[in-house]
Amino acid sequence: MDPELERFMRDYPWRQLGEIIPARRIKPLAECRVALVSSAGLVAPGQAPYDNETKGGDWSWRSIPAGVDIQSLTEHHRSDSWDHTGIEADRNMGMPLDRLHELAADSVIGEVAPRHISVMGSITAPGRFIRQTVPEIVEALTADEVDVALMVPV
């Protein structure tokens, strides 16, 4: 890792979630509806790209429909602290939707949720993200009756 990035990782005042009561999975995985949450800054065709001029990081989110051709997504992540080549070659590296469909087809999971969540993870000032975006994402996945959410940071 780049020394400057390493220093940042060490010194940044990371937000802490504190104590959380675990959401126990009641159903077998093979009956669960699963959604992905990706921070790779992916947008579907027709959606607005992330605004990489926004100070503190664009805190908006995109809803990615389950039926989208994953390779048609475009990536708009502003940070150069990670290697973008994997996602450029295969969008499943940022949002493994093809793999999720395969897991559902093989009954490892019950079903693929109708929509998945994309955010642009480089948010150094997360206040607006916490106040506005996070509750919207919780509302969306709750409305979709998602049992398990799987996070994919880049």
Partner 1 sequence: MCPQTVGLVQGALESAGITTTGATGVAEVSQKVGVPRALNVPWRLGYTLGEPNNPKLQREVLEQALALTDRDDIPVLEALTSIGNDG
Q: DSSP string spanning 41-75? A: -EE-TTSPPP-TTSTT----EEEEETTS-GGG-EE
97: Cα within 13 Å, side-chain hemisphere: 24
Q: Closer CB to partner 1, residue 48 or residue 108?
A: 108
Q: Which of 49, 110, 126, 128 binds partner 1 (CB under 8 A)?
A: 126
70 binds partner 1 (CB under 8 A): no
Which amino acid does the sequence have at 133? T
Q: Which of 90, 107, 132, 143 binds partner 1 (CB under 8 A)?
A: 90
Q: Which of 89, 105, 107, 143 binds partner 1 (CB under 8 A)?
A: 89
60 to each of 5, 7, 81, how far by Cα in Å? 25, 28, 21
Piece in contact with partner 1 (CB under 8 A), picked from 44-52, 62-70, 132-140 = 132-140
Q: Are 55 and 125 in contact (CB under 8 A)?
A: yes
Min dist. Cβ of residue 46 to partner 1 (A): 24
Q: Which residues bind partner 1 (CB under 8 A)?
A: 1, 9, 14-18, 20-25, 29, 32, 34, 37-39, 57, 79, 81-87, 89-90, 92-93, 96, 98-100, 102-103, 108-109, 117, 119, 121-124, 126, 129-130, 134-135, 137-138, 141-142, 146-154
